[in-house]
Structure 1
Amino acid sequence: MAFSNKEASIVLGMVARGDKRHDIAAWYGENQARVAEVEQGQYGNLAAAPSVELPPRGAPGPKGRRLRGKVVKAIEALENKDAATALQILKDGLADFLKNET
């Protein structure tokens, strides 16, 4: 898979932020060689994306598993006709997912 210019810009932003190369690659389902290609300029002279456009730090795996757990709880709340609780669980899960973890 090749990165789009936008994705390559985000990769550069994540590199500049100091993210681990394997975490960057994991966000895109790629290997670290693709990240190295971006760093080596194979996508041209792109500017790094600003920090507000970057995904949270860390591998998506643990974050995804925690978010999945929140979704399961939200579904249970919806099945019990408790939409307010389900909405709060989803909001909390998304906030946790978007935290910049080290």
Structure 2
Amino acid sequence: MALSEAEIATVKGMLLRGDRQHDIAAYFGVNGGRIAEISTGQRGVGISASPADDLPPAGPYMAGRSALRARDTLIALRDLIEQAIGDIDLYEQTEEPR
């Protein structure tokens, strides 16, 4: 899997932050060799590192970015469910008895 320019910028930022190459590889779900190529300048020449504020949390990563995306999705779903329950409760409170 090839990394996009934005992902290479993130890799460079993570390397500058001091993240371990194998943790970065796990985050992106790529072979560690891809990260080594970026680290040694064989790949991504001319791409600047992402600023620290734009980087993911520091590793180690148990399941990579897919786990972080799944967590974000679950949080969004929880919020939607809570809102739907609130809407149902409000409807039931305002519904006229039959």
Where structure 2 has 5 or more consecutive residues not aligned to the other structure, the ranges are 88-98
* Aligned ranges 1:1-102 → 2 under 5 Å: 1-41=1-41, 42-58=43-59, 59-61=61-63, 64=67, 67=71, 71=75, 74=78, 78=82, 81=85
Q: Counterparts of 2:54 and 2:62 in 1: how far apart (Å)?
A: 16
Aligned length: 83
Query: What TM-score do you get using the length of structure 1 for normalisation?
Result: 0.60
* CA-to-aligned-CA distance 1:59-95 (integer Å, 9 cap, x gap): 1538938x38x65xx38x64x9258xxxxxxxxxxxx
Q: Closer, same or farther in 2 for the Cα pair 1:31/1:52, shift >3 Å?
A: same
Residue pair 1:23, 1:60 contacting (<8 A) in 2 also: no
Query: Percent same amino acid at aligned positions?
Result: 35
Query: What TM-score do you get using the length of structure 2 for normalisation?
Result: 0.62
